[in-house]
Amino acid sequence: MSKYQFNCIRYRHFLRTSNISQIPDFTKYCIGPVNEELAPYIMETMKAYPSNSKYINPQHYYHNRTVLVENYLKRSPNPVSLTQLAQYYDDSTKLTRTKIINSGKFVKEELVIRIAHKLNQLQQLPFNVVNNFHFVQVYESYYNIFESFRKYPTIRTLDDASQFADFIKNMLEGFNTLNLPHLIMGALECTILDLYPREKMDQLLSDLLRARISRRLIVEEHVSITANYTSGKEENTLVLGDIFQECSAMKYLLEASEESKKFIQDMYFKDIPMPEFIIEGDTQLSFYFLPTHLKYLLGEILRNTYEATMKHYIRKGLEKPEPIIVTVVSNDESYLFRISDKAGGVLHDDENLWSFGKSKERAQESLNNFHKLPGLQTVSIYDEVHSHNKYNPNLKSLQSITLKPYMHTSLEPMSYPSIINGHIKYETPLIELLRRSFRYKLGIGLAMCKVYAEYWNGDLSLHSMPGYGTDVVLKLGNLMKHTKKVQLDKV
């Protein structure tokens, strides 16, 4: 008997005889049999402590208790408003040396406290959930962020603040790159194996995603004002800093429509007839928002609408696709986008539309598509990589092994701000998520959009009439009405 055969038999026996498994039973739903390529990773997850882990080791419990629990968990995160985030408590838009230094100090302390509370949230999960292979990746990533920020030297000078801005960019494009797919895959596996109630899993992921958005806003604002100041800019001229922009509803809708058409052409062929795209209502609407979030929300919804419309057109053998109509409505409190189609209505139950875990059958389909993404099954933060962070020699980056395999998928490594014509330009994995191939239907679009809409004091709802069509209603809060509102996981 070969070593590989022995390991597979040992693995199957382990799954039959143990009520607590570090990993799900891949044999139940994995594409193809458990093979030699996958076996080493299965055996790795059966160990008490992951190989090469810097944090999950025999000393982890003691260190966690004395450092995280007895120190940082006793501190509460600071709720902040959008105005405070942009001005850093001095009530002015002026960029000064003192503001940049204070910004760095605040970000350093705030992020280590916030990530400590997220670590504790993961620690409260049942063992067979947090010990799932994918949740282990997230836990290790979070603990790496916690330790790296905790140990980062005190920020005293402008040069310190500038180096810290570079440090946090490198930090997030390293271990953090795969957190989102690992969270989703972990949720799907736990759903399939009945390890955690779906409602609780959806709430967990929603909490972690909202916290992630807030941490990124805090980080990006510091990077923005630091880059502005060091390049000679003396003032933040925009209302909420450079990461928020005045957005034209018409412009973003037309851009989302064009991206959706490219998606359809990739799915079928270049000259396929496209549905008429009609924008009605407050077509001159312009409002302050985070550009990447608005681009993602409108793009993801319209992509689904275009796909449904084209499938209905082909299925019914129509002369031309039915039109897609967007109605824009606004008042002092919020902005509303109603996207209407005549594509026959939604086939799946509502509970599947808004859930990350979904039903077992839908979770199976989504997980299989995740597994089709090149290299994801064998990539973890413990894999050997070659690049190192100059601010933290112990921090390894996944950039070198994730860039090519995940191009144009939701796993595209995060890109960070560059100064173009004097303006800060941000791009995030959300945009690459929109550009993923139709082959990678992951089933998380509407669930993600709902989290983002609710984060910005809005909502996302869907009204379907079987046999006729669907209205998707996206509501976004007016940020100018909430600039001084102090919140925790809304900033």
Higher pLDDT among residues 105 and 404, named by residue? 105
358 CB-contact burial (10 Å; exposed 0-12 / middle 13-18 / buried 19+): buried
For residue 124, what is the enclosing H or E element?
Answer: none
Decide: helix, strand or coil at residue 269: coil
pLDDT at 9: 43
Q: How far apart are CA 37 and CA 435, in angstroms?
A: 29
| Intra-chain end-to-end CA distance of the chain, in Å | 57
Of 134-143, 236-245, 283-292, least confident by mean pLDDT is: 236-245
pLDDT at 80: 84
Assess whether pLDDT exceeds 70 at residue 179: yes
pLDDT classification of 88: cutoffs 50, 70, 90? low
Please say whether the structural domain 48-242+357-425 has been given the CATH code 1.20.140.20: yes
The residue type found at 416 is: Y
List pLDDT tens digits, range 129-138: 888 888 888 8
User: Percent of the chain at pLDDT above 90?
Assistant: 41
The residue type found at 436 is: R
pLDDT at 426: 35
CATH class given for the domain over 244-356+444-491? alpha beta
247-261 mean pLDDT: 96
Decide: helix, strand or coil at residue 128: helix
Assess whether pLDDT exceeds 90 at residue 10: no
pLDDT at 415: 35
Domain-by-domain residue ranges, the chain?
48-242+357-425, 244-356+444-491
Identical fold, 48-242+357-425 and 244-356+444-491:
no
Q: Residue 289 has what DSSP assignment?
A: E
The sign of the dihedral angle between the CA atoms of 123, 125, 131, 137 is negative
List pLDDT tens digits, range 458-486: 999 999 999 999 999 999 999 888 777 88
**Sequence-ordered list of residues with C-beta below 8 angstroms from that of 442, at least 6 positions apart, any chain:** 184, 366, 369, 370, 410, 436
For residue 410, what is the enclosing H or E element?
Answer: none
Assess whether pLDDT exceeds 90 at residue 397: no
Residue 312, sorted as left (phi over 0), alpha (psi -120 to 50) or beta, turns out to be alpha
User: Percent of the chain at pLDDT above 70?
Assistant: 71
Quick one: three-class SS letters along 420-489? ECCEEECCCHHHHHHCCCCCCCCCCHHHHHHHHHHHCCCEEEEEEECCCEEEEEEEEECHHHCCCCCECC
pTM of the full structure: 0.80
Higher pLDDT among residues 339 and 400, named by residue? 339
User: E strands along 145-219, which residues?
Assistant: none
